[in-house]
Amino acid sequence: MSGRTFSVILLPTAECNVACEYCFEFKEPHRLSLENLPAMTKSILDHMDQEDFAECEIYWQGGEAMIMGPAWYVKAKELMDTAAEGRGRKFVHLLQTNLIGYSSEWNDVLFDMFDGSLGTSMDYPNLHRKMFSGSAEKYTETWRARLDEARSAGIRVGVIAVLHQGSLDVGAEAFYRYYVDELGIDDFQVNTPFPGGPANEAETEFQLDTTELSFFLGELFDVWMKEGFGKGVELGPFDALINHFSGKPARLPCIWKENCSNQFISVDSKGTVAQCDCWVTSYPDHYFGNIFSEPDLSRMLSESSARKEFVERPGKLVEDEDCLSCRFLSICHGGCPVRTFTALGTMNAKDPYCEVYKVVFGRAETYGGELRRIKHSPALEPV
Amino acid sequence: MVPLPYLSAEEADPLTEDPFVLVARNALELCRWLAVESPGLQWIQVENLLDEPEVWATAARKGNDVALDVIVSDPAAQYAAIYRLVDVRNVRPVRVTIPVAEGFLKSLRLAVSVHLPVRLLPGQPGPKAISELEEALEYYLHDPMVEVPVEFFHSMLAQARGGSGPDLWVVTEQDPDVFALPDWTSPEEVGFVDQHFKQLEAAGAECVTCPWKVVCRGYFKFPDPEYSCAGIIPLFDRIGQAGAELKKDLATFEAANVGASAGAIDKNS
């Protein structure tokens, strides 16, 4: 059996308990039933057999994943893991949640199923994540309370921050201090935004000037290296890039993989299969198929004309764009298809954040090189 | 020494324990040999299949562990197809072999960018290919993003920094005394490279005074002994210079290490 890992971003519901302004997902009251889960599990396991994947990471997202309730996950885990074990395969479960619905009732399942950790999201400043009441302040207050409760229970919490104009306006230093000093977070990640899905008023806040964004990320990199790197603060994707450039094993984010189409898919509660959660919730023209009506997942993926476009994208980019002459091709491969599609209406172009990435890569290369030199410099060995 | 035979799918016997290289020229042959456990099989040389995506999807599933040497027959046109090897690389060793012809640098860059080791087959390159070879060498020597070996540069650099090693015929796996290549057309005599080089010396070829004759052994004078090495010698000079720089840097580093260790002992004593 190969050591390759396959990943499924599984959306058990399209429902959500909050009303973030910039959400790209199409919300509807639909949940994955435990009656349908065995069929979905079988399709995934059949595909793992076919492609010889030993392990499958299940990224539980939504909608809001916690809407399903802890008891649902207990049964889902039992059902999926038993089926996998019977076929010599393994599921690894990971949870991404807005935390708003967290309570101590989740702790058992968080430890049993998710290895005592979860991922959540918070932006700084929070202007656009809102409760249904319309208040961002209330959202932040509730989220912080849940964060504290979860951490008090021993849950490890990683945070994703989506950058918006307000983040750039407050600057990198204040941004970093909010997460690390004010929240006490030692594992967070910054995502570049993309105004996908249905048009909404907040979109302009997420259409960032690339020069301004580059400057912000460069400064954030500097602040993290100066204050966080040596103290064990993990800040993605900078930490993965530093590992790469300092000669350590690195798991770069999906936007910079050689070809995301070979590594994961997303499946929603109705069984819709697409490349990732962004595609499955926002772009019906790019669906690969439906896992309930086409249970042979391997066949669906190999025959889907929509997926073929993803598979062929990196090759097209080196033919049609200037990626082949870029010295960072090996860690970028043209960037993210959905960011490109959202900005340009086609995925067969390089990522609109290309110049931003180059700044970040350049920073990482410089710092990584310095770390290598320090590591090998006899003059700096402790005596 | 018995040369390693390159056998076609018709000639090869999966049960033999004698070492051999299987040459797969169509999808059926490759898929069949990926599924068998053959004790003598050293690797599979894959020819003319880069344009068939389904083959690579099959090769990315586990099957056996056998390594693949994928020939990029038209490197100026087929470079984008190298992306098809990414998943294959995750389950078995994969190397790409690229003939040095105009436009080969595209294939080299892409192979390196997806972390595939490369074997360049220089042959007797024309001016444009030599110009690309110079660019390729600088890329290999000085771009820190290059993390895989690019032969023949790699072995030549290792020798230039003071090591010993095989000549260019062996490094490129084209010495008929070591590799019984399927398309070899010269007289099947033992000691081909020695004989070839002696003939060049006897004819007063530029090899006689060439500083790189020990590692080259007349490689670039075959098949046309009149081929001018005017563009090749500076390339080897550059490798030699880089090897010397590397050797000096390593010596400086080691000396500093010794000094630092001694200092550390002094301070602790």
Tell me the chain B residues in contact with residue A259 when contact means C-beta distances shorter than 8 Å: 83, 86-87
Q: Which parts of chain A have pLDDT scores under 50?
A: 381-383
- Greater model confidence, B184 or A302: A302
**How high is the pLDDT of residue A200?**
65
Query: Of the candidates B62, B83, B84, which has its C-beta nearest A2's C-beta?
Result: B62
**How high is the pLDDT of residue B262?**
63
Q: Between chains, do B113 and A315 touch, taking CB under 8 Å as contact? A: no
Report pLDDT digits (tens) over A42-72.
999 999 999 888 999 999 998 999 999 999 9
What is the mean pLDDT of the segment spanning B243-265?
80
**How high is the pLDDT of residue A375?**
77
Residue A243's alpha-carbon distances to A191, A238, A249, A363, B52, in angstroms, are: 18, 9, 6, 13, 35
- Greater model confidence, A211 or B91: A211
Report pLDDT digits (tens) over A303-340.
999 999 999 999 999 999 999 999 999 999 999 999 99
**How high is the pLDDT of residue B164?**
86
Does B35 touch chain A if contact means CB atoms closer than 8 Å? no
Please determine, for residue B269, whether its predicted confidence score (pLDDT) is greater than 90: no
d(CA B80, CA A319): 7
Specify the pTM: 0.91
Residue with tokens 């290792």: B158
Q: Between chains, do B263 and A383 touch, taking CB under 8 Å as contact? A: yes
Nearest chain A Cα distance for residue B49, angstroms: 16
Tell me the chain B residues in contact with residue A331 when contact means C-beta distances shorter than 8 Å: 145
Does B142 touch chain A if contact means CB atoms closer than 8 Å? no
d(CA A105, CA A70): 7
Closest to A283 measured CA to CA, from A266, A264, A259, A300: A266
Q: Where are the beta strands (DSSP E) in B36-75?
A: 41-46, 67-71
ipTM computed for the complex = 0.88
Please determine, for residue B187, whether its predicted confidence score (pLDDT) is greater than 70: no
Mean pLDDT across chain B: 92
Interface test with A, best of B34, B54, B62 (most A CBs within 10 A): B62
**How high is the pLDDT of residue B61?**
82
**How high is the pLDDT of residue A382?**
41
Does A346 touch chain B if contact means CB atoms closer than 8 Å? no
Q: Between chains, do A378 and B260 touch, taking CB under 8 Å as contact? A: yes
Token pair for A142: 């509730």
Q: Between chains, do B86 and A259 touch, taking CB under 8 Å as contact? A: yes
Please determine, for residue B2, whether its predicted confidence score (pLDDT) is greater than 90: no
**How high is the pLDDT of residue A143?**
98
Report pLDDT digits (tens) over B108-157.
999 999 999 999 999 999 999 999 999 999 999 999 999 999 999 999 99
Report pLDDT digits (tens) over B56-81.
988 988 778 899 999 999 999 999 99
Does B53 touch chain A if contact means CB atoms closer than 8 Å? yes
pLDDT band at B107 (very low <50, low <70, confident <90, very high): very high
Please determine, for residue B265, whether its predicted confidence score (pLDDT) is greater than 60: no
